[in-house]
């Protein structure tokens, strides 16, 4: 079995932990059919200037361009289902091993897989806020209507423009969520990085913060990250293949205790 030794070591590290946390990025959802941002030929930034279509300034200046860009992604998120990596993290939480999932993703697949405590540092497509009256609304009806028609969504209360509650370039991250994620990084004894290239800050700084406070680090990601040299275990492979194997090993170890 490929990476058998690393999978065993990761499982032993997690099984022995007292407060393990996970940090997930776009690579955690690509097996569910949601593209990442930077992959050549398939990334969401392919052929577009992200500062024009996905910045706060760009949204305010030309919301139609933003919604045209996000429409295929919205359809993919609506159709996506949690993959085995999502279910593996939910299982680790159910076992009492994983205390929280910190995610850079906006797709809610962790919650749909059964994870109960999820910190969404880049927001979520679950809600949208009116730019005029600031009313927050559920997007349960908004996204299907928008995907079907392409019509820019407006507030049901005042008719103002609706902006999805996802963090755009030039926009502040949710400070309460970031603070909670930083606290988790400082107090955990193991951090599992899964499907993140660790290139987008401030989330990318969390593993370094965890290691500086004495935590052990496990990295499961296709591409190398800047923290690989500081990790106890590094596995460059698909999270949907590796994480279920780690979770199964953890369960075996826990049952023997």
- What is the DSSP code string of 16-68? T-SSEEEEE-GGGTGGGT---SSSTTTSTTTTS-HHHHSBHHHHHH-HHHHHH
Name every residue whose Cβ is closer than 8 Å to that of residue 154 and which is 6 or more positions away in sequence: 160, 161, 162
pLDDT band at 4 (very low <50, low <70, confident <90, very high): very high
My answer on whether 183 and 235 are in the same domain is: yes
Owning domain of residue 115: 1-34+82-122+173-257
**Euclidean distance between CA atoms 107 and 166, whole angstroms:** 10
φ, ψ at 226 (rounded to 5°): -70, -15
Instruction: Looking at the structure, tell me whether residues 47 and 117 fall in a common domain.
Output: no
Task: Identify the residue with better confidence: 46 or 154.
Answer: 154
Asked if 234 and 219 touch (Cβ cutoff 8 Å), the reply is yes
Residue 65's domain is classified under what CATH number? 3.30.1600.10
Least confident of 15-19, 42-46, 112-116: 42-46
Res 40: pLDDT: 45
For the segment 221-242, the average pLDDT, to the nearest whole number, is 97
In the prediction, which pLDDT does 205 show?
97
Residue 133 has pLDDT above 50, yes or no: yes
pTM: 0.92
With bands split at pLDDT 50, 70 and 90, how would you rate the model's confidence at 37?
A: low
Q: Judge contact between 14 and 218, C-beta under 8 A.
A: yes
**Cis peptide upstream of residue 202 (ω within 30 degrees of 0):** yes
Mean of pLDDT values over 120-144: 94
Output 28 or 35, whichever has higher pLDDT: 28
101 with 208, same domain: the answer is: yes
Q: Are 98 and 254 in contact (CB under 8 A)?
A: no
DSSP category for residue 161 = B
Q: What are phi and psi of 73, to 5 degrees?
A: -65, -40
Model pLDDT for residues 170-210, shown as the tens digit of each residue: 888 899 999 999 999 999 999 999 999 999 888 999 999 99
Q: What pLDDT shows up at residue 48?
A: 56
Regarding predicted confidence, which is higher, 249 or 39?
249
Q: Is 15:92 a contact under the CB 8 Å cutoff? A: no
pLDDT, position 137? 94
Q: Average pLDDT for residues 232-237, to the nearest whole number?
A: 98
Which pLDDT does position 32 carry in this prediction? 95
Are residues 224 and 117 part of one domain? yes
Mean pLDDT of the region 219-247: 97
Q: Write down the pLDDT at residue 255.
A: 86
4 shares a domain with 30 = yes
User: 170 near 55, Cβ under 8 Å?
Assistant: yes
Average model confidence (pLDDT) for the chain?
Answer: 92
- DSSP for residue 76: H
pLDDT of residue 220: 98
Among 166, 184, 219, which residue terminates a domain? Answer: 166
Q: Give the pLDDT band (50/70/90) at residue 45.
A: very low
What CATH number is attached to the domain comprising 10?
Answer: 3.40.50.1220
250 shares a domain with 149: no
Q: Give the count of domains, the chain.
A: 2
pLDDT at res. 47: 53
Q: Which of 78, 79, 80, 48 is nearest to 66 (CA)?
A: 48
Question: What does the pLDDT read at residue 162?
Answer: 97
On the CB side of 194, CA atoms within 13 Å amount to 32
| Residue whose tokens read 């076992």 | 95
Taking the C-alpha atoms of residue 32 and residue 213, their distance in angstroms, rounded to an integer, is 33
Per DSSP, the residues of 165-181 read EEPPBTS---HHHHHHH
Q: Residues 153, 257: one domain?
A: no
In this prediction, residue 41 has a pLDDT band, given cuts at 50, 70 and 90, of very low
Site of tokens 């897989």 = 113
Q: Which residues are catalytic?
A: 122
């Amino acid at each position: 079995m490929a990476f058998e030794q690393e999978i065993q070591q990761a499982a032993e590290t997690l099984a022995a932990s007292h407060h393990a946390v996970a940090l997930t990025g776009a690579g955690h959802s690509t097996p569910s059919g949601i593209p990442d941002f930077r992959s050549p030929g398939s990334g969401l930034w392919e052929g577009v200037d992200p500062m024009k279509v996905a910045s706060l300034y760009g949204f305010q200046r030309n919301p139609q361009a933003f919604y045209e860009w996000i429409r295929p992604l919205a359809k993919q998120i609506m159709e996506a289902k949690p993959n085995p990596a999502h279910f593996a993290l939910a299982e680790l939480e159910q076992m009492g091993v994983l205390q929280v999932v910190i995610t850079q993703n906006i797709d809610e697949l962790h919650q749909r897989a059964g994870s109960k405590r999820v910190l969404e540092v880049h927001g979520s497509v679950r809600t949208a806020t009116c730019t005029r009256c600031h009313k927050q609304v559920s997007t349960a009806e908004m996204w299907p209507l928008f995907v079907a028609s392409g019509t820019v969504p407006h507030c049901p209360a005042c008719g103002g423009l609706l902006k999805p509650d996802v963090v755009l370039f030039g926009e502040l991250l949710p400070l309460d969520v970031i603070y909670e994620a930083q606290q988790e990084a400082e107090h955990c004894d193991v951090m599992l990085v899964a499907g993140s290239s660790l290139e987008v800050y401030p989330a990318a700084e969390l593993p370094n913060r965890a290691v500086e406070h004495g935590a052990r680090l496990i990295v499961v990601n296709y591409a190398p990250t800047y923290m690989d040299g500081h990790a106890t275990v590094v596995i460059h492979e698909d999270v949907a293949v590796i994480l279920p194997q780690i979770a199964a090993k953890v369960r075996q170890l826990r049952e023997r205790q």
